[in-house]
Amino acid sequence: MSDTLRIGVAGLGTVGTGTLELLNKHYEMIAHRCGRPVLVTAVSARDRRKERGLELSGVRWFEDATAMAADPEIDVLIELIGGSDGIAKATVETALEHGKHVITANKALIAHHGNELALKAEKAGVVLACEAAVCGGIPVIKTIREGLAANAIQSIYGILNGTSNFILSTMRESGREFGEVLLEAQKLGYAEADPSFDVDGVDAAHKLAILTALAYNCEIDFESVHVEGIREISTIDVNFAEELGYRIKLLGIARLSDGGVEQRVHPCMVRKNKPIANVEGVYNAVVAEGDFVGDILCEGQGAGAGPTASSVVGDLIDIARGIRMPTFSVPASALERRPTRPMSENYGGYYLRLMALDRPGVIADITAALRDDGISVESMVQRGRGPGGEAVPVVLTTHETHEANMMRALERLSALDSVLEPPRLIRIETL
């Protein structure tokens, strides 16, 4: 059929295979919904001989993904290779330069190069779509860019990494420590072979940077995201959080205030009765607060073949239907450059855990260190008594203060003779 939309898929890993399976299974339904067939006519992957369980007869095979991206018989290039640079970037650039629409699930690529790639797409008059790059199967980009387009977004936050959420949920449920649960996540195939992007907050930061651009019509500024991961979270903190009425979640949070954009990814204490506190396991969730709609929460599977393919093909169906949306909420040339609100200006309550000697005057020293920066203690718990003089946990929560004050107080606390380990700090988010 002359109006068939011809697709080239670069990368046949989990998501690539899932995408081909979906397009094959729903070929008729998608053609009906789009009013035209959508057909994979070319693929490119590293190993041609690998058994993937796919029917690829009649599909052209390219050793070189960039050659496929330049091929005149391709209308849309789907990039599922991954990585912020290298072959993935070269393939996307080649496709855009040759006037092809591009769909990608590659959050690292968009977080690092989204501005320039969106501009390239705009100049070429083609679409660059990346729904699958943020929270897998959750249509969060469409929700912000289209569903909430009538709202000023006051804040957007969420659980953007399923692996970290699985680890924190399992630590709480099983009482096991981080390292052990991480091994389980790796065995279950949730964590990457190198899990640092998951547990150090980088993957969540990639996604947050994309959401920020969509919510605030600004250029992506990944370098300005404040990033902390969950490696330092211990079951002691998970249990104290529970006792104090909180859950610990790795959240990505973005807000616009006084013209500055705040973007941060770090473990947070969230009240147990908040919906986001009850999103467990590998699930992701995003809450957007619009000035007219109020809060909306989108929850679902943030990774895996089926959910990610669902988003990839959702973008493809838009293109087949003739829908042309800018990559972010406004044309790439109209994205604004916004100043970053420094983390030192963050204002909130804090959870602190100190491992301190149990002897007279220690609590006075600790509260004095907080007092000297005007920090008011909300609650304090000391547990156990070390018969041999070993350290015991002293847990405090504070009333709201500026982060700059807390950082100065933390230096004083760390320097106390009676405090034997680096203090652990977790921000309390009222959300």
Of 13-21, 155-163, 381-389, 403-411, which segment contacts ligand HSE by CB under 6 A?
155-163
Write down the least CB distance from residue 169 to ligand HSE, Å.
Answer: 13
Write down the least CB distance from residue 130 to ligand HSE, Å.
Answer: 12
- What the block records as the tokens of 92 is 């996307």
Among 162, 252, 267, 423, binds ligand HSE (CB under 6 A): 162
When the beta carbons of 162 and 252 are compared against ligand HSE, the nearer one is: 162
Among 41, 104, 106, 163, binds ligand HSE (CB under 6 A): 163
Q: Is 32 strand, coil or helix?
A: helix
In sequence order, what E strands does 75-222 have? 76-79, 101-104, 128-129, 153-159
Q: Which residues contact 203 (CB under 8 A, 6 or more apart)?
A: 107, 160, 161, 163, 197
- Annotate each residue in 198-237 with x if it binds ligand HSE (CB under 6 A) or - if it does not, as one string: x----x----------------------------------
Of 1-9, 158-166, 344-352, 359-367, which segment contacts ligand HSE by CB under 6 A?
158-166
The residues annotated as belonging to the active site are 207
Query: Edge-to-edge strands of the sheet including 76-79?
Result: 60-62, 38-44, 5-10, 76-79, 101-104, 128-129
Q: In angstroms, what is the C-alpha Rg of the chain?
A: 24
Give yes or no for a contact between 81 and 10, defined as CB atoms under 8 angstroms apart.
yes
Among 17, 115, 161, 170, binds ligand HSE (CB under 6 A): 161
Write down the least CB distance from residue 302 to ligand HSE, Å.
Answer: 5
When the beta carbons of 161 and 418 are compared against ligand HSE, the nearer one is: 161
What H or E segment, with its residue span, contains residue 246? strand 246-257
- Annotate each residue in 166-205 with x if it binds ligand HSE (CB under 6 A) or - if it does not, as one string: ------------------------x-x-----x----x--
Write down the least CB distance from residue 8 to ligand HSE, Å.
Answer: 23
In Å, what is the CA distance from 170 to each residue of 182, 190, 284, 372, 426? 10, 13, 15, 38, 19
Amino acid at residue number 392: V
CA atoms within 13 A on the CB side of 273: 2
When the beta carbons of 192 and 280 are compared against ligand HSE, the nearer one is: 192
When the beta carbons of 195 and 423 are compared against ligand HSE, the nearer one is: 195
When the beta carbons of 208 and 375 are compared against ligand HSE, the nearer one is: 208
In Å, what is the CA distance from 242 to each residue of 37, 177, 230, 265, 344? 53, 16, 17, 21, 28
Write down the least CB distance from residue 36 to ligand HSE, Å.
Answer: 31
- Annotate each residue in 368-397 with x if it binds ligand HSE (CB under 6 A) or - if it does not, as one string: ------------------------------
83-112 positions binding ligand HSE, by CB under 6 A: none
Of 159-167, 208-216, 232-240, 344-352, which segment contacts ligand HSE by CB under 6 A?
159-167
Neighbours of 40 (CB within 10 A): 22
Sign of CA dihedral 108, 109, 113, 116: negative
- What the block records as the tokens of 292 is 């007219």
Strands 347-356 and 392-398: antiparallel
When the beta carbons of 300 and 348 are compared against ligand HSE, the nearer one is: 300
Sign of CA dihedral 322, 323, 325, 327: negative
Neighbours of 393 (CB within 10 A): 19
Amino acid at residue number 382: Q
Please count the residues of this chain forming the interface with ligand HSE, following the rule CB under 6 A: 9
- Annotate each residue in 125-144 with x if it binds ligand HSE (CB under 6 A) or - if it does not, as one string: --------------------
285-314 positions binding ligand HSE, by CB under 6 A: 302-303
Query: Does 262 participate in binding ligand HSE (rule CB under 6 A)?
Result: no
When the beta carbons of 147 and 281 are compared against ligand HSE, the nearer one is: 281
Under the rule (CB under 6 A), what is the footprint of ligand HSE? 161-163, 190, 192, 198, 203, 302-303
